[in-house]
């Protein structure tokens, strides 16, 4: 036999149920012009896309140098110099053209940033994005890429993880820029 409890059941609330208050959500960080800042994950994916584009451009740029050796006789000592100079020009020129000239002409967007709906903008609201700022940004990033072999270079992209208030990498700080989210077109 089962016995009934000696006390009545707990009364159920009538009407609207009580919900404990939620802590207020922290607003997303914003740029000086009011747009939300891009996060680390999105910037990382955009950089991966951009690296694929640059690598394809460098490979295409190297193609003329592959056939150059067959055009010149074997005892020509000028061939290695021409090839080395050409390779250096391609290896630095393609990334410069893409990261500076292309992005500058496209309003601060590379293909990777466009895919991730981001853009590079100056910190000063209303200021135009300049070629000089983009070139400085690119130059500092290249310098840190060279230093990556001694691990100091990793500070540049990781800097945004603790940078306040604009989530800038070191190359952004040098150029006075940041990366913001843009609304879909």
Query: Given the structure tokens 């050796």, which residue do they identify?
Result: 69
Confidence of residue 109 (pLDDT cuts 50, 70, 90): very high
Confidence of residue 95 (pLDDT cuts 50, 70, 90): very high
Q: Is 70 exceeded by the pLDDT of residue 92?
A: yes
Chain-wide mean pLDDT for the chain? 87
pLDDT tens column, 4-42: 667 766 766 666 666 667 777 888 899 999 899 999 999
What's the rounded Cα separation, in Å, for the pair 158 and 22?
A: 32
Q: What is the pTM of this model?
A: 0.79
What are the structural domain ranges in the chain?
40-69+76-178
Confidence of residue 114 (pLDDT cuts 50, 70, 90): very high
* Beta bridge mates, 120: 179
- Phi/psi for 178 (5° steps) reads -150, 175
């Amino acid at each position: 036999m089962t016995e009934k409890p000696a006390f009545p059941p707990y009364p159920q609330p009538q009407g609207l149920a009580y919900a404990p208050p939620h802590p207020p959500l922290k607003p997303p960080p914003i740029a000086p012009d009011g747009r939300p800042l891009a996060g680390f994950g999105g910037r990382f994916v955009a950089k991966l896309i951009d690296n694929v584009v640059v690598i394809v451009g460098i490979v295409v740029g190297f193609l003329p140098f592959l056939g150059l050796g067959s055009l010149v006789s074997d005892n020509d000592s000028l061939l290695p110099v021409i090839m080395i100079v050409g390779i250096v020009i391609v290896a630095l020129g393609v990334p410069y053209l893409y990261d500076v000239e292309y992005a500058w002409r496209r309003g601060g967007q590379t293909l990777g940033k466009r895919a991730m709906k981001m853009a590079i903008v100056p910190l000063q609201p209303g200021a135009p994005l300049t070629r000089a700022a983009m070139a400085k940004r690119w130059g500092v990033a290249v310098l840190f890429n060279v230093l990556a072999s001694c691990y100091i270079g990793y500070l540049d992209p990781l800097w945004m993880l603790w940078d306040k208030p604009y989530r800038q990498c070191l190359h952004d700080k040098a150029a006075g820029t940041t990366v913001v989210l843009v609304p879909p077109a």
